[in-house]
Structure 1
């Protein structure tokens, strides 16, 4: 189904791009050991935010990105400066929205026709009374059976499309949150990883065994 394809394309493109920006956090060049007394610092209580905007501004960037995408789909991607993802968000929403509208329209049409056919009122006009496959005079009441079948079919896919829409909205929030996390990482040129040979002492003996070790260097 095309609505599934649109959803999968959005997820694939977004997360492939996000994982491409993943980086490594490195510690600073120096570290200082302090005593327990010195390590304890006074905590300052922040004043209460004056408004909602100030309160949101105190959140972490991933939390802000997720909130913005929850309120307006695509806004979290704009906050992350991933502007190229915004058309994907709205294209996915447009495809799913179209199928919700189309299936609901057809469901309402067949449901109304079925109610008219079964109301027993000769003054109401049956719009499908002479339509091929739905005519009232078909053997075994097949026309009415087909009306009911098509009504149920479009109701089922309308409900499924609504679920897909909610899922797409949730994925839009999750993608903005994850992308903001990945962008918070920092790459340092002072980071190096070396593979070195070493000798490991054998326990209980004066002998050594050869081995390899990975050494992470921070310059």
Structure 2
């Protein structure tokens, strides 16, 4: 009986040795990823024809390219510049016609023109001056028109660049180890995305 008891005890001990598993515990680790939108403004899709379209709109109707770019404040400036050029052209054209008509009347022998105290040479100079000013007025008007087209094109190009609002100016303080004196400075930080 004792032999049986030892056999049973030996059997239980042996089976317990073989029945053991490893003590390592495996844990499944689930990582949750949080995605945060990096910028405040939504990213616009790149449109390669947007500058050409804005320039075309401004060429057809001055200021329309600025409206396309949503720069409405530029439209009155464009029209004011072009209107000033046209106004001065009309004024100089009227003056030129008055000087010319008075000079023609004098050549025909009449002495009843509105410029009684002015000599013939002064009337000729006034005509030349009015003609020159008419040309300058045309140049100013055309310059504002061309500036309108160029501005719409350049503004549409620049709208497609993503510029960060993270522009900071910070003072900095460093200690110079060689001469044991403080060094002061400014740091300008600008990030391109």
Task: Select the structure of larger CA radius of gyration.
Answer: 2
Cα separation, 2, equivalents of 1:79 and 1:125: 58
1:41-120 aligned at under 5 Å gives the runs 60-118=49-107, 120=108
Deviation for aligned residue 1:91: 1.1
Cα separation, 1, equivalents of 2:122 and 2:164: 67
Say if 2:82 is the partner of 1:127.
Answer: no
Select 1:153's aligned residue among 129, 132, 157.
Answer: 129
Structure showing greater relative contact order (alpha-carbon pairs closer than 8 Å, 6 or more residues apart): 1
Cα separation, 1, equivalents of 2:53 and 2:103: 49
Aligned residues: 123
1:196-215 aligned at under 5 Å gives the runs none
Deviation for aligned residue 1:125: 6.7
Deviation for aligned residue 1:133: 2.9
Do the aligned partners of 1:104 and 1:155 also contact (CA within 8 Å) in 2? yes
Do the aligned partners of 2:82 and 2:144 also contact (CA within 8 Å) in 1? yes
